[in-house]
């Protein structure tokens, strides 16, 4: 890995390229987009499911004739079983936390308060969720039962899933909470830290809310720093316009395919199947990586040193663009995609120590977008 204290603006940071997998390293995780899941399991979707199976076999992604261990994220799980997350209105904060330096108290207060309400919400109690799952399975074509059991039944029966679901819903409420101006920037800095952790308390959907803000802040610098690629960057900006929960849910797989999936204090690389075009998923992944790169370029050397272990733990994976008929031909490795770099803060421009040039990793790509 290249020295994080000296980002090379002529090519992607080394942590954005896939590394050689060690012999005992955890295998890939396989995530399925909620829209694609519904397409494959809907009435009349038998041909699409058969096409998906054929493509899995053709590219050798499954065990023999079977499917890989496909999963849905907790937020996608709710989406595919047709359960809307419980809605709660925002509430005023107590005066004691409405001042600079109290962001930790403020965020803790919000999460604790809303988590207690989510735990009591009737929509996401185990019994009604289990009943809904049984009804859906009974109404489904038996040909789709193995896919349904992989993505829904197995996820729901996983130890700790109920707690994980409640935590992710609670933190997503926090990420949307309209903090007053006196706290807003402090809280955003706190939320940015979630990108660098290995806990599963924060959904990829929520982390994409942070990436969207980082992109909006980086966009002017990217245009200024890459005058010859103005049209390309503007095209990326058009893709980075998630507004609804469904939009952020679609972006969730991009996040996991670039950084990996958190599991027991480590990340596992993700292969994510999505019902989007190859052009679109590449644009979204490049924008994501460029936003994150711009953020890292703006923080201090000491902060980069603190983050180094987390950055080295990220595991780039692949996005798989699927057609409406369920088939797919290519995997798009996210580590191979280029990164646009913007202007650094003058006071934080970092120089590469002599002899610390980045070395390409197997499967990586020395590609410059600049």
Per-residue pLDDT, averaged over 10-35, amounts to 59
Give the number of other CB atoms < 10 A from CB of residue 209. Answer: 19
CB 10 within 8 A of CB 368: yes
Lowest mean pLDDT among 2-6, 77-81, 220-224, 253-257: 2-6
pTM for the whole structure: 0.84
pLDDT of 157:
93
Average pLDDT, the chain: 85
CA dihedral (120, 126, 132, 133) in degrees, to 10, reads 150
CB < 8 Å & 24+ apart, contacts of 61-67? 61/30, 61/271, 66/146, 67/146, 67/147, 67/150
Tens of pLDDT, residues 84-104: 999 999 999 999 999 998 999
Cα separation values, 91 from 114, 140, 174, 177, 331, Å: 10, 41, 11, 9, 44
Query: Which pLDDT score, from 0 to 100, does residue 313 have?
Result: 85
Per-residue pLDDT averaged across 240-260, rounded? Answer: 93
SS (H, E, C) the chain: CCCCCCCCCCCCCHHHCCCCCCCCCCCCEEEECHHHHHHHHCCCCHHHHHHHHHHHHHCCCCCCCCCCCEECCHHHHHHHCCCCCCCCCCCCCCHHHCCCCCHHHHHHHHHHHHHHHHHHCHHHCHHHHHHHHHHHHHHCCHHHHHHHHHHHHHHHHCCCHHHHHHHHHHHHHHHHCCCCHHHHHHHHHHHHHHHHCCCCCCCHHHHHHHHHHHHHHHHHHHHHHCHHHHHHHHHHHHHCCCCCHHHHHHHHHHHHHHHCEECCCCEECEEEEECCCHHHHHHHHHHHHHHHHHHHHHCCHHHHHHHHHHHHHCCCCEEEECCCCCCCCCCEEHHHCCCCCCCCCHHHCCCCCCCCCCCCCCCCCCCCCC
Using pLDDT thresholds of 50, 70 and 90, give the confidence band for residue 349: very low
- If pLDDT is split at 50, 70 and 90, which confidence band does 344 have? low
Q: Which of 94-103, 195-204, 207-216, 361-370 has the highest mean pLDDT?
A: 207-216
Mean pLDDT of 260-279: 89
Kind of pairing between the strands at 332-333 and 270-274: unpaired
**Position 262 confidence tier, pLDDT thresholds 50, 70, 90:** confident
pLDDT in tens, 276-303: 999 999 999 999 999 999 999 988 888 8
Length of the chain (residues): 370
Nearest CA to 172 out of 70, 68, 88 is that of 88
pLDDT of residue 343: 64
Q: What is the pLDDT at residue 198?
A: 64
Average pLDDT over residues 325-343: 92
Is a pLDDT exceeding 70 seen at residue 362? no
pLDDT at 41: 96
Task: Report whether 190 contacts 103 (CB < 8 A).
Answer: yes
Tell me the pLDDT band of 11, cut-offs 50, 70 and 90: very low
The pLDDT score that the predictor gives to residue 195 is 83
279-292 exposure pattern, b = at least 16 Cβ within 10 A, e = fewer: eebbbbbbbbbbbb
Instruction: Please give the average per-residue pLDDT across 174-182, as a whole number.
Output: 96
Query: Does pLDDT of 339 surpass 80?
Result: yes
324 close to 296: Cβ distance less than 8 angstroms: no
Residue 69 in tokens: 């261990």
Q: What is the pLDDT of residues 121-168, one digit of tens each?
A: 999 999 999 999 999 999 999 999 999 999 999 999 999 999 999 999
d(CA 338, CA 319): 15
Q: What is the crossing angle of helices 245-259 and 204-225, to 10°?
A: 80
Distant-in-sequence, close-in-space partners of 346: CB < 8 Å, separation ≥ 6 = none
The pLDDT value recorded for residue 287 is 97
Q: What is the mean pLDDT of residues 65-77?
A: 93
Q: What is the mean pLDDT of residues 254-275?
A: 89
Res 13 pLDDT > 60: no
């Amino acid at each position: 890995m290249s020295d994080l204290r000296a980002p090379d603006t002529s090519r992607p940071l080394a942590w954005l390229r896939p590394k050689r997998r060690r012999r005992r390293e955890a295998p890939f995780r396989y995530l399925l987009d909620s829209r694609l899941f519904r397409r494959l399991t809907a009435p009349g979707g038998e041909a699409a499911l058969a096409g998906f199976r054929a493509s899995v076999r053709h590219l050798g992604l499954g065990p023999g004739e079977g499917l890989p261990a496909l999963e849905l994220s907790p937020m996608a799980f709710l989406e595919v079983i047709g359960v809307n997350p419980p809605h709660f209105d925002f509430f005023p904060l107590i005066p004691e936390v409405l001042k600079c330096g109290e962001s930790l108290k403020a965020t803790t207060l919000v999460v604790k308060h809303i988590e207690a309400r989510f735990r009591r919400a009737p929509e996401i109690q185990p019994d009604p969720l289990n009943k809904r799952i049984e009804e859906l399975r009974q109404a489904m074509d038996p040909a789709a039962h193995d896919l349904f059991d992989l993505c829904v039944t197995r996820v729901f029966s996983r130890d700790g899933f109920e707690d994980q679901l409640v935590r992710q819903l609670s933190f997503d409420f926090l990420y949307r909470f309209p903090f007053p101006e006196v706290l807003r920037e402090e809280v955003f800095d706190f939320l940015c830290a979630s990108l660098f952790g290995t806990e599963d308390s924060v959904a990829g959907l929520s982390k994409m809310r942070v990436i969207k803000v980082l992109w909006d802040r980086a966009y002017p610098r990217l245009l200024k720093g890459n005058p010859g690629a103005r049209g390309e960057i503007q095209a990326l900006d058009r893709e980075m316009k998630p507004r609804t929960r469904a939009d952020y849910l679609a972006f969730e797989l991009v996040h996991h395919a670039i950084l990996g999936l958190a599991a027991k204090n480590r990340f596992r690389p993700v292969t994510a199947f999505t019902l989007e075009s190859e052009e679109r998923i590449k644009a979204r992944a490049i924008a994501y990586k460029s936003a994150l790169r711009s953020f890292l370029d703006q923080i201090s050397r000491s902060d980069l040193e603190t983050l180094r272990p987390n950055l080295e733990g990220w595991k780039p994976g692949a996005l798989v663009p699927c057609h409406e008929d369920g088939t797919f031909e290519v995997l798009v490795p996210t580590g191979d995609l280029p990164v646009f770099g913007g202007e650094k803060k003058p006071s934080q421009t970092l120089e590469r120590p002599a002899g610390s040039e980045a070395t390409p990793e197997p499967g990586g790509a020395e590609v410059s977008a600049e």
